[in-house]
Structure formats: C-alpha cells, structure tokens
Amino acid sequence: MTTKVPPLTYKVIAECSVTKARAGLMTLRHGEVNTPVFMPVGTQGTLKGLLPDQLIELNCQILLGNTYHLGIRPGIETLQKAGGLHNFMGWPRNILTDSGGFQMVSLLKLAEIDENGVNFCSPFDNSECMLTPEHSIQIQNTIGADIMMQLDDVVKTTTVGPRVEEAMHRTIRWLDRCITAHARDDDQSLFPIVQGALDANLRKQCAYALIQRKVRGYAVGGLSGGESKHEFWRTVNLCTDLLPKEKPRYLMGVGFAADLVVCVALGIDMFDCVFPTRTARFGCALVNTGQLNLKNKKYEDDMRPIDEECECSTCRRYTRSYLHHIATSQSVSCSLLSIHNVAYQLRLMRSMREAILRDQFPQFVCDFMAKHFEGETVPLWIREALQAVNVELPHDENDATVNVA
C-alpha cells in the first residue's frame, strides 16, 4: 500500500559551520520552497502593485494571505465557490495564511478577547465577527493555504504582568482546538506559534508545550511590536535554541534587510512583512545601502537604474530620474517600485542561501553590514546578536574580513 506524501516535508541541505544559519528545502503541495525565504504579503489575495505573473517572474515561491481579512472580504462562501484562494487569485504556487491573531493587537479597539475567541467589529461595516480557533481553521481550510497558522492570543510585545502568561497558556489551549478542528491535514500543514512576549521563562514553557504536539513546523510570534532590538534578538535566539532543528522556523512580521540577515544567522528559515510594498507606495526603493527616497530632488536627472546589479524588470527598463518624476503621483510608480523591492528581498534571501551552501555565510554577513551601514556605526544590537553566534564584525570600516569568535 502506497503511503501518501505529507503536505510538508523539510530537509536541511547545509548548515553554517559558525552561526545557526541553515539552508533548507521545504516541499509543499504547490511546489518547492528554498529556505531561508521571504514571503511577500498579499493580505486580501493580492500583493499591492504586483500581478501573480510578475511574482512568478521574480521566482517567488510562497506568499502570505490574511485569514481575518479574507474571511470578511471576499468571505468564506465566495472562496468555496472559487475552489480556494489559489484559484480565486490565479496563483499556482504556495500560500501561507496567518490566523487573524495579530489583529488582536492591530485592531484592539475593535476587538474583545475571551476564552472562546476574539469578537471583532468589522472595520468595513461595523458588523460583529466572532473568530474562534475553530472558525479560523475553517476559513483557512476553505482558503486552501499550504501552511496555516493557529489562532493565538496576541498581546503587545511590551505588555508585562499576568496578561502575558494568560495569553501564552491560552495560545496552547487554542492550538489544541485548532488541531482538533483541522479537517485537511493531508493537504495543509498547521504551524503553532511560540508566544510569551519578552519573558524568557514563558517563551520556554510555550515552546516545550508546542513541541509535544504533532506539527510540521513552528512560528515565533509576538515580536516587532515596539520592543527594543536588544530584546528582539535575544528572544529570537532563545526560540531557535528551543525549537527542533529538523523542522522549519518562521519569524512573523520581520522584513528589514539587516533584521533578515541577523535572524538567518540566529537560525530562522521563514519571514514575512508588508514593508517592501508599503515603502514602495512612499516612493522608496530598497538597495544594499538601505533605501533610496526617489522623491528626493537629487534623482531628477539620475539616468541610472535603481540598482545596477538588479535584474528586475523595473531596473532593466527605467531610470531613477523617470521614477523620481512619477513617484507617489502616478499609481504605476507603486507597481514599478514594488516589483523592485520584492525582487530585492528575494535576491537577498537567495544570496544568503548561496553563502550558507558555500559555508561562507559569516563573510557574507560581514560584507553586507559593511555596505548597509557604510559611513555609519553598525548598531550595537547587531554586533551583540552576531557575537552570540560567533561572528565578530570588524570595527575598521576598511576591513571587511570576518572574525570568527
């Protein structure tokens, strides 16, 4: 009798001999995903400014959708009629959906939370919507996402006191309800989420509990919510120490380039963030030195592409000058800059993967930071985070040779 292949398999292909970085291959129902990977965010089944064909041209292997927003609009009945989100949006590759838990923080004024779930007031028509663990899974089963997130009880990262412990324990209880409600385990994989804010003991308790459940990967949630960068990296480092090496680790809501490089060094495999497309709408382009604000007058006669090393369609065809003159004033500028910014994020992840495969990742990190903070001091939190995984950044800006601690 033939055993059906699981909907998610993950294999570590190579590990950095110095840091905790690793390159992996995740195989899902809609194709392979090379890790480390950045997932562009298409909240309501569309990436702002990009068509699915353009994402395929960029070799995007997986994107993210939002359960809360998709559940409200277009709604579960429409998604059922369409045969799931892949068909509905014309996307043949992988999708990950978050559970709607983050909206407990982002839409806190519109939400009430208790043991049953979260009662939201719709931002569109003020109607009430009760999102329970069971309902979140029902929506995600209908969406047909390759990877689904459990509904978790999310508190603002800087919250202290009994509410943090309550949310952590409730997240574990809600995970068990999500597992019970999950009706498509042969096709979709459910990830639990490590919570506990900035309390190391609560993070440990949560991680140990989640590891006891039969799941195919894990997420680290509740960060990038106002905590200091020193608290941020220490929490990430703790979680990757606790989670199993043979399964993928997903850090939710992180997308700044320097953060991605540091967190790959700390052992994270998957990331998502709205940053690349959101900053494009403000006329900003991502490059290795940070951002180019193309609204700036100095670009009005600059006939170079955004990035001479970038092969995206925007950089092949358009100049900084052209983009300066249409930035924020023409809707097409959002599309052109979004194409480039997503291409930049994906290229950064591929470059890190290649460096890991060659076992040259520490040197890559050193070279990247020297370029990214050219003429500036590398932030102390980055130095300390990298020191924790045995990489000492050079202090002389002319010396880009990595020192292994």
- Per the annotation, where are the binding residues for Zn(2+)? 310, 312, 315, 340
Catalytic residue among 98, 146, 259, 269: 98
Give the least confident one: 88-92, 99-103, 186-190, 392-396. Answer: 99-103
Examine the pLDDT at 243 and tell me if it is beyond 60. Answer: yes
307 is catalytic: no
pLDDT band at 98 (very low <50, low <70, confident <90, very high): very high
* CA distances in angstroms from 301 to 2, 18, 308, 322, 323, listed in the order given: 64, 45, 16, 8, 10
In terms of Cβ atoms closer than 10 Å to its own Cβ (0-12, 13-18, 19+), residue 110 is middle
Angle CA(175)–CA(240)–CA(96) in degrees, nearest 5? 50
Query: Which tops the pLDDT comparison, 132 or 225?
Result: 132
Please state the domain extents for the chain: 9-272, 282-388
pLDDT tens track for 9-41: 999 999 999 999 999 999 999 999 999 999 999
Catalytic residue among 146, 153, 259, 272: 272
Chain centroid to Cα 362, Å, comes to: 22
**Mean pLDDT computed over every residue of the chain:** 93
d(CA 212, CA 136): 22
- Over residues 388-395, the mean pLDDT reads 95
272 is catalytic: yes
Per-residue tokens: 285: 């382009």
pLDDT band at 107 (very low <50, low <70, confident <90, very high): low
Does CATH number 1.10.1740.10 belong to domain 9-272?
no
Examine the pLDDT at 398 and tell me if it is beyond 50. Answer: no
- Per the annotation, where are the binding residues for substrate? 98-102, 152, 195, 222
